[in-house]
Copies of this chain bind each other. A is one copy, B any other.
Amino acid sequence: MKKVVITVGRQFGSGGRMIARRVAEELGIAFYDKELLTRAAKESGISEELFHSNDEKPTSSLLYSLAMSNFSGEMPLNHRIFLAQFDVIKKIAAEESCVIVGRCADYALRDLPHCGHVFIHADLEFRKKRGIEEYGLPPKSAQGIILRTDKQRANYYNFYTNRKWGSADTYDLSLDSGTIGVDGCVKLIKDFAYIKSEAAQ
């Protein structure tokens, strides 16, 4: 297959990360999730711990950030972390075929013809069941944790891009992992990767 990069946004509990990993394995290309943070930390000189604690968390308000940058004379940490990730995503996409999960990678790589952008979602009941069984969430608080995490991801995405997280027209391809199934999603995303790869050359 010619060079192709697939970015995967995902609702919490949809199995998006697992699906993305299987797509990468079956296509024989690299997979980036938390690995991104390690590399961005190395290249930026910012501590890796700070990348993990700020990972896909919504920033403080823009006004607060602006105020902070005026007082300190430099860009606030959360923005520096975001930009370091942004740079690493662009470098990786220029270097090799891969699958990248989350972290506004679709926005960083928009308009690059060899990059295709996927979103994976599923209904709340399906995600609650997975959250309890796969991640060991306490049944009583599973729903709250899922909705809170999605809200964080949406706020983070909508703050740093001019797009809307979870809206169909933000992505090339959106799939319901609950109704299509994990195997079905992997097959459709692999087909999509081949289509993007051929069209881009």
Please list the residues of chain A having a beta carbon within 8 angstroms of any beta carbon in chain B: 11, 116, 119, 121, 123, 166-176, 179-181, 184, 187-188, 191-192, 195-196, 199
Residues of the B chain whose Cβ atoms lie less than 8 Å from the Cβ of A179: 116, 172
Contact B166 A180 (CB under 8 A): no
Closest to A124 in B: B169
A168 to chain B, nearest CB (A): 4
Rounded to whole angstroms, the CA-CA distance of A174 and B192 in the bound complex is: 12
Q: Can you add 4 more A-B contacts, CB < 8 Å, to A168-B174, A188-B191, A191-B191?
A: A121-B169, A180-B192, A180-B196, A184-B195
Task: Give the docked Cα–Cα distance between A179 and B170 (Å).
Answer: 12
Interfacial chain B residues near A121, Cβ < 8 Å? 168-169
* Contact between B172 and A175, CB atoms less than 8 A apart: yes
Contact between chains at A173 and B172 (CB < 8 Å): no
User: For residue A172, which residues in chain B have a CB less than 8 angstroms away from its CB?
Assistant: 175-176, 179-180
Closest to A165 in B: B168
- Inter-chain contacts of A196 with B (CB < 8 A): 180
Q: Is the CB–CB distance between A169 and B173 below 8 Å?
A: no
Q: Which one of B166, B187, B195, B199 lies within 8 Å of A169 (CB-CB)?
A: B166
Q: Which residue of B lies closest to A115 (CB)?
A: B179
Q: Enumerate chain B residues within 8 angstroms of A187, measured Cβ to Cβ.
A: 191, 195
A187: nearest chain-B partner, CB-CB: B191
A102 to B165 Cα, complex, angstroms: 24
